[in-house]
Structure 1
């Protein structure tokens, strides 16, 4: 008899009994009992660890029950015990190893982005690129374009700083340079900003009005710049009781009206943030209090994104020596550009790169823009959130998911009416391993302790560097789902959904970390 067979089974028995380490004498005694056939029956061919299939299943079930019980104990012994928890853990074979309320519909927050990005990769493909184009309606006379120009929005969310070495004007400069290379130094007509690729609904269903001043809840338009935000910098320099200094990108633009009612406080007083855009306008009330010496940076939303785009473009054109007269006109019409002259264009990074903003950085703007784009390009009609989500559900069904366990009102996870189960999330994670796009998808995830929204989490944990996951947060909801590569060389697919908690987010995060550390140790 091969002695390694009963030893491995003995280790499983001891582990199930909660014996983590055996002294050498005890280990030898146990081995002698096993070899003599006193402790367990002689093994038969097949089954776990060389024992009978029935015995193996009992051991396996006992081990898994122990892990599930210990997870429940971690939760029940924490101050978050009164929250609603759901946990699902699957093996590489797709078996659900741990189930704690895993079929209970839960709010997922940004974990909904997992479903959206999977659908986008299959619907558009990882190499899909956006092309923003300037069309001319007129002719070039000398160095003057006699007529109008139209900037046709393509749904590109990335006309910002994130893909161009922190240079938010990169795309504008590239377009202006192409116009100048054609010999154009002056435009005698109007500048139109066409956003007809999408419908004119600025927000998805379910977003809360008091979020709409902040960068994570901007208006959505097919022609968008800088995520439809200004970037505010506040410096608390000056005496106590005075107003702090403010500057903003782009250009300290007069597109917005910033009402600075902020005050500098003594250094002992904590910073208190207060920003509010008057809805439907570009008037932003600044009412924060800042301790002396404090530096604050915040991105705040604007209204009418297409007008913001062409206003910023025209200012950059003036700065670059390309002058113009006429008006700035946002245009919601769907246009056929076949009768226009193509003057300049810009192509985005491929979709697989853009999706890193969605999953690793949890960017709501990118998510909603890409969802409408999926509908626009797939259906050759104005893109809507509802049509995009319907197409995503179709892709998820093709992956074999039970979409009855899923309800989405928006794409990004801000809508509190969104529901999904921990089980369907781990089913998605497992299904995507068989997808031709699984590598591109996995590359969009944050890595524990290294990147994205997990850069500063799981530091000094054994999980650090071995977990790739998507975080989620809205008020009362904290979620974490992804992959965990464990010491045995296998991969686990996990989802932890926490709803209705009243404690600090950091407290919930600590329980999530302890659950992941337990999975690392036990598998």
Structure 2
């Protein structure tokens, strides 16, 4: 078969059979004149058939820097609209970096509404959130220490907290089980990734239970979240929203010999304010019970503040550790800067999707959040690759993506692979994705995306089944093996380019 005809068939996504004159067995890719290719690369359609991944698998590969409408180098079902899971964080990172800038910092401020005289504040004290995703108890303690250094010893007025600069939500995705720490509440004032540390230990024939805003240095107990042990076998956890507090119960049978885990906080701004009041009290300043404040008054003065690292570093950590709260805050902050405070997370996600369409000409992108946690989000692989390969995008994203190790069929690390790969993974139940960049030893640079999803199988799960569904691990393992197989193929075919 002429080389041009074979490649045309390959690039069409293997949707049509070979011409009748073709041999019965598949031809192996032959070396191209420009040096691309490897004689032993397994055809992509064979890899798809052998993977055993139910549902739809889609992939696309493009050369970075090619014209926006240049043909994809390889693809299969590139228009398939699948949930991107955490791969969608690539769009969120790009959105935030372009709208806010890589040097942007988030500030948490302690403000006063009156004069400070002889250690007494004749007015109210307000803890104001600025959308910092990484603020923790140690940072709050630093604000409290700076407040003390400023001479504040008494507050005549009230103690308020303000988390309304961004939309507030009790959770990111309502379809997830209640107790999952990666699905917390969201506001402009957040603490410890909006998680509370639940620990249980046997003590004197009973259980000692603590709920703390824990960091390495501080362990203040909290009242906004409580835990009771219940005499039942299942469910392991129950949650109730009562009187402005998170009330949890846990099955006694599930406690074992002791342990700990992080639980989500549904009222993050109130949580942060309670912890700050505790830290202030330990420094000698007793504040009144924290109260929410929706609108900031005019004429405030700043007493102390904490600033986050630069956005470029925050985005790198988000892509590396895939923190959902960070993604939501970056996306919400970018939308607020670009077009004003959105009404909700979904509204902001729609604005981000529209930005992607206008900025990069992407079609079919429909995100319902900024983290990919909601399975109603859709992101075609071709659109994802077109974004990654667009001019200037690789300079922003490639340095902050995580290294991807190439593995052979036996799960062993490939020595001296033809491509160096960085990427972002994404996983939901019966959804798996990987997207990023691959650089050849000879200097060629490629953008790729691989998404697999068995959406009907995921939709059939009950809410309780979504933490550990039957067959989920096996399906995910097969999807990841397919990703590795395609990367290995591309390493062989394009590794010398």
Q: Structure 2 vs 1, CA of residues 122 and 356 (structure 1 numbering), >3 Å: closer, same or farther?
A: same
For structure 2, the 5+ residue unaligned runs are 1-25, 214-219, 458-470
1:414 corresponds to 2:367:
no
Supply the distance in 2 between the matched residues of 1:220 and 1:447 (Cα, whole angstroms).
Answer: 30
Whether the 8 Å contact between 1:447 and 1:469 is mirrored in structure 2 is yes
For each residue in 1:405-432, what CA deviation from the matched residue of structure 2 results, as whole angstroms up to 9, or x when unmatched? 211111111222111111111111101x
For each residue in 1:293-342, what CA deviation from the matched residue of structure 2 results, as whole angstroms up to 9, or x when unmatched? 5x6442111222221111010111112x13124221012x23244x1222
Q: Secondary structure at the match of 1:170?
A: helix
RMSD of aligned C-alpha atoms? 3.4
Q: Displacement, 1:355?
A: 1.0
1:483 corresponding residue in structure 2: 437
Q: Structure 2 vs 1, CA of residues 326 and 291 (structure 1 numbering), >3 Å: closer, same or farther?
A: closer
Supply the distance in 2 between the matched residues of 1:188 and 1:153 (Cα, whole angstroms).
Answer: 22
Q: Secondary structure at the match of 1:323?
A: coil
Q: Secondary structure at the match of 2:78?
A: coil
Q: Structure 2 vs 1, CA of residues 444 and 388 (structure 1 numbering), >3 Å: closer, same or farther?
A: farther
Q: Structure 2 vs 1, CA of residues 193 and 465 (structure 1 numbering), >3 Å: closer, same or farther?
A: farther
Whether the 8 Å contact between 1:260 and 1:285 is mirrored in structure 2 is yes
Supply the distance in 1 between the matched residues of 2:142 and 2:433 (Cα, whole angstroms).
Answer: 40
For each residue in 1:75-105, what CA deviation from the matched residue of structure 2 results, as whole angstroms up to 9, or x when unmatched? 322332x331101111235441111111111
Q: Displacement, 1:289?
A: 4.8
1:512 corresponds to 2:483:
yes
Q: Secondary structure at the match of 2:114?
A: strand
1:71 corresponds to 2:34:
no
What is the TM-score normalised by the length of structure 2?
0.78
1:352 corresponding residue in structure 2: 312
For each residue in 1:426-480, what CA deviation from the matched residue of structure 2 results, as whole angstroms up to 9, or x when unmatched? 111101xx22x64342233121259xxx9xx976235699221111111110111
Whether the 8 Å contact between 1:122 and 1:395 is mirrored in structure 2 is no
Supply the distance in 2 between the matched residues of 1:117 and 1:20 (Cα, whole angstroms).
Answer: 38
Matches of residues 48-197 of structure 1 in structure 2 within 5 Å? 49=33, 70-80=43-53, 82-94=54-66, 95-160=71-136, 169-197=137-165
Q: Secondary structure at the match of 2:88?
A: helix
Q: Structure 2 vs 1, CA of residues 465 and 98 (structure 1 numbering), >3 Å: closer, same or farther?
A: closer
Supply the distance in 2 between the matched residues of 1:425 and 1:216 (Cα, whole angstroms).
Answer: 24
Supply the distance in 1 between the matched residues of 2:452 and 2:304 (Cα, whole angstroms).
Answer: 49
Q: Secondary structure at the match of 1:278?
A: strand
2:388 corresponding residue in structure 1: 429
Q: Displacement, 1:386?
A: 4.5
Q: Structure 2 vs 1, CA of residues 245 and 89 (structure 1 numbering), >3 Å: closer, same or farther?
A: farther
Q: Secondary structure at the match of 1:360?
A: helix
Whether the 8 Å contact between 1:136 and 1:147 is mirrored in structure 2 is yes
For each residue in 1:468-495, what CA deviation from the matched residue of structure 2 results, as whole angstroms up to 9, or x when unmatched? 1111111110111111223443222111
Q: Structure 2 vs 1, CA of residues 287 and 64 (structure 1 numbering), >3 Å: closer, same or farther?
A: farther
For each residue in 1:335-392, what CA deviation from the matched residue of structure 2 results, as whole angstroms up to 9, or x when unmatched? 244x122211221111111112322211111111122212223334466434533443
Q: Structure 2 vs 1, CA of residues 202 and 373 (structure 1 numbering), >3 Å: closer, same or farther?
A: farther
Matches of residues 379-418 of structure 1 in structure 2 within 5 Å? 379-381=339-341, 384-402=344-362, 404-418=363-377
1:226 corresponding residue in structure 2: 192
Supply the distance in 2 between the matched residues of 1:449 and 1:196 (Cα, whole angstroms).
Answer: 42
Aligned length: 437
Q: Structure 2 vs 1, CA of residues 291 and 136 (structure 1 numbering), >3 Å: closer, same or farther?
A: closer
Supply the distance in 2 between the matched residues of 1:233 and 1:414 (Cα, whole angstroms).
Answer: 26
Q: Displacement, 1:238?
A: 7.8
Q: Structure 2 vs 1, CA of residues 297 and 91 (structure 1 numbering), >3 Å: closer, same or farther?
A: farther
Q: Secondary structure at the match of 2:43?
A: helix
2:492 corresponding residue in structure 1: 521
User: Which of 499, 518, 521 is the aligned partner of 2:453?
Assistant: 499
The structure having more radius of gyration, on CA atoms, is: 1
Whether the 8 Å contact between 2:87 and 2:435 is mirrored in structure 1 is yes
Q: Structure 2 vs 1, CA of residues 323 and 411 (structure 1 numbering), >3 Å: closer, same or farther?
A: same
Supply the distance in 2 between the matched residues of 1:65 and 1:115 (Cα, whole angstroms).
Answer: 36
What is the TM-score normalised by the length of structure 1?
0.75
